[in-house]
Amino acid sequence: MTISPTSSPLPTGVSQAPTQPKLTAEENTNVRFEQLLWAELLTHTGLEKALTLGGGDGAAMFSRYFVEAIAEDIAKQHPLGLLDQNEAVTTPSEPEAGSES
Per-residue pLDDT of the chain (101 residues; tens, 9 = 90+): 666 656 555 555 555 556 666 878 888 888 899 999 999 999 999 988 888 887 777 787 788 899 999 999 999 998 888 877 754 455 556 666 665 65
Q: What is the pLDDT of residue 67?
A: 92
Cα(75)–Cα(58) distance, integer angstroms: 26
Q: What is the pLDDT of residue 98?
A: 62
Cα(72)–Cα(38) distance, integer angstroms: 8
Q: What is the pLDDT of residue 39?
A: 94
Q: What is the pLDDT of residue 26?
A: 83
Q: Report how far apart, in Å, the C-alpha atoms of 25 and of each of 19, 28, 29, 34, 74 are.
A: 18, 5, 6, 14, 19
Domain ranges of the chain: 35-82
